[in-house]
Amino acid sequence: MLTTIAYGLAIVLNLFIIFIGARFLLAPHASAAGYGVPAKKDGDAAYLTIKGLRDFSYGVIGLALLAFVGAQAEAWFMLIVALVPLGDTVIVLRHGGTKAVAFGIHFATAAVVLINAALLFAV
């Protein structure tokens, strides 16, 4: 049962980050608003594309680790990649975003990723 939950949550988290990355690539300004720091219409869209590519790549790497290496490697990956939503929390707070988005989305995501890492280490 624990293995199913750990693997299932890892798959869902990785697919979700692939979705977020794809959304940033396809609809960057709407995605930035959902992130918690709206982008300026005349700003440099390259940074939004970079975020999309980063997130998409992290999701693909996570799925590849889970499929080809196993739970231990995925657990280490999740432990390290939790730094991204923790950093996103700080970015949102420092750039005028709301505490609700910073903690309700980004910090909560980091907590779920860390819980998943613990579950993967346990299997």
pLDDT in the model for residue 41: 86
Tokens of 98: 């709301």
As a whole number, mean pLDDT of residues 15-41 equals 94
As a whole number, mean pLDDT of residues 15-27 equals 97
Residue 35 contacts by C-beta under 8 Å, 6 or more apart in sequence? 51, 88, 92, 101
pLDDT in the model for residue 43: 79
Q: Reduce the DSSP state of residue 39 to 3 states and report it.
A: coil
